[in-house]
Every structure is written in C-alpha cells, then in structure tokens.
Structure 1
C-alpha cells in the first residue's frame, strides 16, 4: 500500500509540484517523473497531507485508505527518501514532519534534481500559505500561485507585479519593490488585489487579516482605516475555550482597534470606546468596553456592564447579568429559561443574588403561580404586567400559560399595535411562537409615528416594515420602500412609486408594478399570469384566475370550483370540497361545511378520522375533537390521546 500511495521519492514529487506551480505543463513534468495523470491525481493528496504529518486528522484520513499513521513512522520516511538523493540529518526523537520540511527546503533552493536535473525550466520558490496550502512561485516573468498568475476577483491577471522583489510579509500579505498585495477569497476561491495607498516601506502585518503602515490600518477584504493615531492599530485577540485550537486566538482574529475606533470584520463598531474595548468570555463573540456589552459588533440593549458574565459552561453563547439570561447576545425570558439554567446555578453555590435565584424564590413563595394564573394588569394588545415584568401568552401551549419578556424595560414600556411597543431603548417587538427569544430594538425606527397598514404591513415616517404574524416563524423585515408613495396591495404584496415589494423584499424582475393585483396570501396576478411570492407560477393547471383567492398564512390558492395551487403545484379538487365555506383553523388544519382537512408539506388531504362537529384548534399545528388530538407533521397526521 505504501508503494502505491507514494510511488516516487518525496523530493522528486515535491520538485514536480514546484515546476507545475511555476506554470510548466503537467504533461511534460509528469513524463519526466515517470507517472501519468491518473497516478498523479490519485497520489498527490497523500504526499500533500504529509506537510501536516503530526496532525490527528491526517492520521485518520490515511487510516481510512489503509495507510499507517505517518507522524513517527521511520519505515515510511525511509521509503520516501529512497532514491531521492536528499538525506538531511535525522533529528531525535524522530518526527516525520520536520524531516520532510528539511527536504523541501533543499528542493526549494533548486528543484533541478533527479529527472529534472537537466531541464532549463525556471521555477523560483517564493513562499506559501500554510493551510490550505497555496504555493507562490515565479518563472522570472510572472508571480504564480497554484500554477496560475496572480489575478483579481474577475480573473484578470494583475499587471506590473515584479517577480524578483515579490515576497511574503505574512500569510496573506505580500509586497514587491513598489506595491503591497493581499489575497482574498470568494467561496474559497482565492484572488489577489493591490492594497490601495499602502506604503511598502512601513507596511507591517499583524495577523492574516490585519496590517498597518504609517498612515492607516488594513483589513483583508481591501478595507483601509485611516488613523489619526499612527502606530496604535492593533489586533484584538480573544480567548477560545473549545474546539481543536483552544487558547488565545490572535492570528485568526477579525477584530482590531486603534486609539479611537474599533473594527470588527472590517467594519467600524459605532461609538465603541476603543481604549477599553476587549473580548470577554471564551467564545470570541462577546465583547465589552467601559460602558457596554457587545455581541460581535452590536451593543446589547439593557445588558448590565458590571454584572454581565459569559457562561459557556451553561451552553454555547450563553451569558447572564443580574436581570436576565442571554443567548447569542439576545436577552431571554426568565420564566422560559429558568429550568435550563438550573444545573449551572446549583453547581455554583457561590452565586446568590442573580435573576435565577430571584425567580427561584418567587416560585417558592407562590408569587409565580399567582402571576401565571392572572397577571395583575393588561397593558393593551397582547401585553400584560405583573407590576415588575411584561408578559404575553405564548402561541405554543407547551411554553406555559405566560412568558415574561425580560428583554423589555417594564417601567418605560407601552404597547403600540399588535406585537409592537416602545420602551426607553426604542421600537420593540416579540416574535409569536418564539416569545422567549429576545429581539433587539429596531434600528432607525420612529416609534412615535409607527402604525399598522394592514395585511402584516407597518410603517413609520422613515421606513416600511413587514411581519407575517401568522406564519410559522415570523420575522420582521425592514424595507427600502418609499413611505410617502407606498400602498398595500394585499397579502404579502405592496408597492411604492418605483417597485413591487413581496414580504418586505423588493422584486426587481417586475417590469410594471402598477399592473400587479393581489389575490391574497402569497399570490397575485399580472394579467393572466399568477404570481407566488412575486414569481410566475409555471403550471397553474385549471385554476380560474377570475375566482382565485389566496389564503393568508398558508401556501394555498383556490378557485370557486375547488382547484388548488399548493405552493406552486396544481392540485385537482378534493371529493366533497366546498370552496365557499373553506377556512383554516390554524396553520395546518382547515374545515368546510362537512369535512376537516390537513395541510402537510406534501398535500392538502381530507381527515376522515376527525369529527367535524367538535373539531377545534389546539395550537398552531394541531386540533382536537371529542375523541382525540391530531398533530400535523411534515408529511402525515398523527393521532394522539386527548391527555397527551
């Protein structure tokens, strides 16, 4: 197996790789090496993995191919050296990776060895990016990476690169005598660019994503940050406590700052206090400055700086302060999260006065049970108060009778309309069905002018909003529509003077937005063409467009004769279907005068086992009758006992 996987000496394989990386034709190179394309393709990855011979993933990958762990394999090393003519001193204790590195250094100095000794090919090794391996060579005229000239995002080679002075400054940063270059990537495909306005003489690399010169800081996506404080640009490292590389992460960090500003992923963090800004916790996601807590670039509204604690021990991205728990930077409901955090707080007896302990004491005193039975005050709409917290009834029955919205400031909160309200942080809302998961204040909103337009559309004086409240997973969408000219057409459709908007998203493929007529729900028409979510339905079947109506909250269109579109698929009328009386009880079940129906991913079907006279909704995806409870799943309906 070893001879099949490694058919030529390691030094010769590496020399061949260098010549190919320098732009020489593989056919001619492999002919001299004495193997064909098939052998090269099948064995090249085995040789390449030996760059990382001490890594566990290499041993696992080779083991799957029936090959031994290479890390300290002296027999493998002897085979790789046999006939190669390069024998560096063997260091003890033996390790394959540094031994092969020593061979590569000899070959890099002059790859004209063995079968390539008499060639006149030019192949000058410059450098390489370690992982994934990307080797830089020049042939006296061009700099190449992976065998191709350096090229920009469009694939056009970069002109004017000086191969003789070209050198690597850091993993993805380079320079020649006149310019600085960097390597980006789009969907893992590398490209290169000239770093604008960079000074090669003072350019210094901080990590694989950040660098600076005398005038500015730089980020690897071709972002430049002019700084008023030259020399203060630095990487913000973060501690990472899990995964393959626990410890302080500096080289991988996307975060940097100078004396006045903070940058994350190449974007300035507004109003952050740079001198005090640093990572907290051990997941590289939470940050803090002297006044605020951040989830990546976004400040967490209402988070208490002094008491905030990252608690990855309790689960990924979990944290808490004196008032509430957090997940991924989002405040969570105390009532919903109490049991999830029980093990953590019971394991830390040194913690006493936290939100969890107050909720425990509240429950022990019976106050929680009384509150759950009847909050003391209605605030209006779906919002209630127990005097200290804002509460709502959850959509899903298994979430309890009430959920506290601990991400809202109780004392300053007032409802506006539907699920929207305002507190001292701005426009607030909750997601029906996900009430316990906190939401951020809506950016650039004007709570004072916020109002409903109908059919799940909203507006204030600056923006148009859409939120399908009855959908499985409601999400607020802030649109770029012009509020002055915007009108709701019906269902998911609206338009302003220039464009059609569907579910809050602008549709650019509609030539005449003024010709669109909403049919309800996801559906509309332009002339005789039916649209679903703004796209033409390819096969509307026998649908009578004159009587067709879409149903809100479900992906269904029907006409007066019972012809159906389920999503974009045509379905013939069901036996006994009465279109005039057909209506939905919830997201998954519907009735007409005589029958009960279930809407699953695959079809709308008749439910003969459900009693029409006594059926009633029992949550968003279930119903009950006098005999049983029925739950709609992906492609079926499950019958369960009433007590379930």
Structure 2
C-alpha cells in the first residue's frame, strides 16, 4: 500500500488524490521515514520519524508534532500509544506517571492497557487512567475488565460492575463461545488466576456478618453490600473494600467507614483522609482537619472549617467563599478518570444560595437559577419563585414565565409576573387557570371567577365545578 506521507524534493508532504500538500509543524525530509500510520475513519494519523526524532502526524490538520528525540528507543504499542525509555505517549502527549518498562495492551479488547500500577482506558476520543485496581491480575474482554476482586465496565467512564459478575456475557470470543457467560470464559481461559471466578478465591464474602447499614465483614475482609433489583429479582452484590482492616474497621454512616489507617467511602479508599479527625456530613460528604471530601475524592479549594453540605437531587455544598456542585468530570487533570466529584460553580453567590423543596430540584442564588444543578441563565433570579412539588414535577416561575422541571421547561400560555399559586392543585395568572396536577392550562375555566373550594382540589367558576380524580380534572356544569 502506498503511504500518504512521503518526503519529496526536500520536504515532507501529504499526498491525497494525486495532490501533495506540505506537512506543517517542522518535520524535515532529512532522515524521514514512516514509523506507523493508520486510518481513523477517513483521516490518517500515526508516528513519523526524521533526524530530529519521532513525530505525531494529525491528518485532520495535516501537521506533525515532535514527540521525542529518542527515536532509536521509541516503539509503537498501539495505534494511539507509543513509548520510549522515559515516557508513554498518547499520540503526542506524555502520560504523567505511566511506566514505559511495564506498559502493555491487554488481550481480547481494543480499550484497555496497563502498567505495573494502573489501568489505561481508551475509547473513541476519550482516554483516562484508573488506579483502583490490582494491575497485575487485570484481564479484559471487550468492554469488561476485571482484576482478582472487582469487575468493571467501560462506557462514558469506568464503573464498578460487580452486580454483573454472574450475568455478563463475553463480547470478544471464539466461534464456539457465542453467548458464553463472562464468568465461564474466565474459568476457561484464566483458570490460573485465583480471582472471584475461581474456586480457590480467598476473599469471598462467605460467612460475612453485618456491622451496620450495608457494611459487613469476615475475619479477613470488609464488604459493602449493594441491593439491586426489586421483588423476586432483588439480590445482594458484594463489593470488597480493598485494604480495609476488619479488626479495626468501624462504620461511620451509610457510606463511610474507617479503620486504624484510613477512611473509606463505600468500597473506595478516601485518599489522604486523616481517620482520627474525619467526620461525616451526610450523604457522600465528609471532612477532616485539612480537606473536604465528596464520593471519596478531595474537593479542590473547599475550606473544611466553613464547609456545609447541601442535600439536593444534585448535591451542592458551600463554604464562606464558594459554591460547589456535583458534576461528572475528570477527577484529576489531565488524564484522571471521570467520576462524580464536587466542583466549584463559577460566579455563584454562596451567601444567598438556597435549595427549594424536599427533592431539591430547583435552587437559586442572587444571580442565577439552577435546575438539577445546571444554571438556567435565561431565568430571572431576582423574580424567581419556587411554587412546589407534585408527584411528577417541580414548579417555579419568574417574571417571564411558569416552569416545570420535567418535560419542556416553559409552560406555554402563562404569564409569570402575575401568576399566583392558589393551592397545591391550582394556579392562575388572572387570564388563564393552570392545573399543577395535569401540568396544563385548564382552557375552559374562567380565570376571573375561578376559586378553590376544598383542600382536595375542588374548585369552581361561574359556569362549572371541578374536582381531581386519579390525576385528571373532572368538570361538571353548574346547575344553579
């Protein structure tokens, strides 16, 4: 096959449809060669070499970036991975902390690689590392990867999938392994690894005794047990709390525990947490003398002395200077794994911030309205009013309109500035009547004469009586 990047007449060019265009970035024809090129869709990418070193070629911009001067020590591991004696590279970028001496691709998957300490995950345009693993025992099949204790699944991020240990099926298989259970595939192909699928696995929850909430322990291990499913399908998923000492382990609340040397949020060790000063704040929040934590991760920039946890459908927290909210994003930069962490909300006013209702779907400060944690810039914070909650929606208004939390945001045909909530069932802007139960304007009702007559949703106007039955409005023409 003729490669599309060549050296011609003292310059490196990209050739397409017979036309040659220079490759930008500074790569030279002197000592030029192609190390590895591949196609991603219809574009070309890969590693090139000249007298200066190894370069990464980006077919989208038709330019090259110098990767390393160690051309003789460089080798390609996979389409997007290369390494030399000092670094592992994702395309042109060195991966901080990656060990080139032990870095390798895992078999039976296009997504996973490892070194002596970490798992590396690459899919589409997403890449991250993950170190909550026993790297030496990692085994992959398609989007699943497991170590001796935990099963994980790759999609938007990497999630614990221990609930799938007995039900997941293989996606990377031989012809005679269609619909094979992953646990059977592991027993067939990896019988030499004494992991959770093996009869000799030494960290099974056999004989585990309950401590409190969902925490259990055996003589040798601590477990956090999750209940999944409903009714006859309900089952218990056992998650080993790796590194926890059962002899000194104590339960702090539903999701936190500690032993003599560390703190744990469910099955995750809370890194850097100081066990003696650590205290829980409710939900996945915790704090010690030096840091605030959420979901087992330190909250960057939060002041432990003034921090307050704010429960809501999307959790918030605040200290004396800043507001924070839950987000699904990288836990560290540049390549940390994505997970649910607490991040600072730019431009927010923590002093005036408040969450509304039992569910906490709506929130606001002096300048911004939030719906499920996301700022709604078009809503007017100065005139914002929370109206209440129904089984299927949470309601609010400002001077510009009436709003619902589920479905289309704006309720058409209602004037927000004049809207009045009459009770939990009815409201009006003086021109139309609105039902919070049905989530719609009651078009036949006469707003000028409409009034509530009982606490169960009964109402009347000059022409009709109204009542609520099974989530619907029943209208009866008045006879008097």
- CA 280–236 in structure 1, closer or farther in 2 if over 3 Å, else same: farther
The answer as to 2:421 corresponding to 1:547 is yes
Query: Do the aligned partners of 2:401 and 2:415 also contact (CA within 8 Å) in 1?
Result: no
The answer as to 2:127 corresponding to 1:269 is no
Q: CA deviation at 1:526?
A: 1.9
The residue that corresponds to 1:218 in the other structure is: 56
The answer as to 2:91 corresponding to 1:231 is no
- Looking at structure 1, the residues matched to 427 and 64 of structure 2 have their Cα atoms a distance apart, in angstroms, of 58
The residue that corresponds to 1:465 in the other structure is: 325
- Looking at structure 2, the residues matched to 172 and 276 of structure 1 have their Cα atoms a distance apart, in angstroms, of 41
Query: Do the aligned partners of 1:325 and 1:332 also contact (CA within 8 Å) in 2?
Result: yes
The answer as to 2:323 corresponding to 1:453 is no
Q: CA deviation at 1:198?
A: 4.5
1:436-488 residue CA offsets vs partner (Å, 9 max, x unmatched): xxx996575589947531323222667722489xxxxxx94755514972323
* Structure 1 gap ranges (5+): 1-97, 99-126, 131-162, 181-194, 239-252, 432-438, 469-474, 551-556, 583-592, 598-603, 607-644
- Looking at structure 2, the residues matched to 605 and 262 of structure 1 have their Cα atoms a distance apart, in angstroms, of 65
SS of the residue 1:452 aligns to: strand
- Looking at structure 1, the residues matched to 300 and 93 of structure 2 have their Cα atoms a distance apart, in angstroms, of 22
- Looking at structure 2, the residues matched to 394 and 260 of structure 1 have their Cα atoms a distance apart, in angstroms, of 45
- Structure with greater proportional helix content: 1
The residue that corresponds to 2:225 in the other structure is: 391
* Structure 2 gap ranges (5+): 38-43, 169-181, 257-263, 274-279, 285-293, 329-338, 446-451, 458-466, 475-480
- CA 199–352 in structure 1, closer or farther in 2 if over 3 Å, else same: closer
The answer as to 2:49 corresponding to 1:209 is no
- Looking at structure 2, the residues matched to 466 and 318 of structure 1 have their Cα atoms a distance apart, in angstroms, of 27
1:309-339 residue CA offsets vs partner (Å, 9 max, x unmatched): 12x2xxx322322212222274535465235
1:578-624 residue CA offsets vs partner (Å, 9 max, x unmatched): 99569xxxxxxxxxx99655xxxxxx799xxxxxxxxxxxxxxxxxx
- Looking at structure 2, the residues matched to 595 and 578 of structure 1 have their Cα atoms a distance apart, in angstroms, of 15
Q: Counterparts in 2 of 1:194-205, with a 5 A limit?
A: 195-199=24-28, 201=30, 205=34
The residue that corresponds to 1:326 in the other structure is: 152
SS of the residue 2:402 aligns to: strand
SS of the residue 1:290 aligns to: coil
The answer as to 2:354 corresponding to 1:488 is yes
SS of the residue 1:291 aligns to: coil
Query: Do the aligned partners of 1:229 and 1:258 also contact (CA within 8 Å) in 2?
Result: no
Q: Structure 2 length normalisation: TM-score?
A: 0.56
Query: Do the aligned partners of 1:489 and 1:517 also contact (CA within 8 Å) in 2?
Result: no
State the Cα RMSD in Å.
5.5
Query: Do the aligned partners of 2:299 and 2:342 also contact (CA within 8 Å) in 1?
Result: no
Query: Do the aligned partners of 1:413 and 1:424 also contact (CA within 8 Å) in 2?
Result: no
Q: Counterparts in 2 of 1:415-430, with a 5 A limit?
A: 421=265, 423-426=268-271
- Structure with greater proportional strand content: 2
Q: CA deviation at 1:548?
A: 7.5
SS of the residue 1:402 aligns to: strand
Query: Do the aligned partners of 1:293 and 1:300 also contact (CA within 8 Å) in 2?
Result: yes
Matched pairs, number: 366
SS of the residue 1:209 aligns to: strand
The one of 347, 354, 362 aligned to 2:195: 354
The residue that corresponds to 1:530 in the other structure is: 402
- CA 219–463 in structure 1, closer or farther in 2 if over 3 Å, else same: farther
Whichever of the two has the greater Rg, that structure is 1
The residue that corresponds to 2:386 in the other structure is: 518
Q: CA deviation at 1:278?
A: 2.5
Q: Structure 1 length normalisation: TM-score?
A: 0.44
- Looking at structure 1, the residues matched to 443 and 92 of structure 2 have their Cα atoms a distance apart, in angstroms, of 54
- CA 167–265 in structure 1, closer or farther in 2 if over 3 Å, else same: closer
The residue that corresponds to 1:298 in the other structure is: 128
- Looking at structure 2, the residues matched to 495 and 333 of structure 1 have their Cα atoms a distance apart, in angstroms, of 36
Q: CA deviation at 1:377?
A: 1.0
- Looking at structure 1, the residues matched to 17 and 165 of structure 2 have their Cα atoms a distance apart, in angstroms, of 44
Query: Do the aligned partners of 1:304 and 1:321 also contact (CA within 8 Å) in 2?
Result: yes
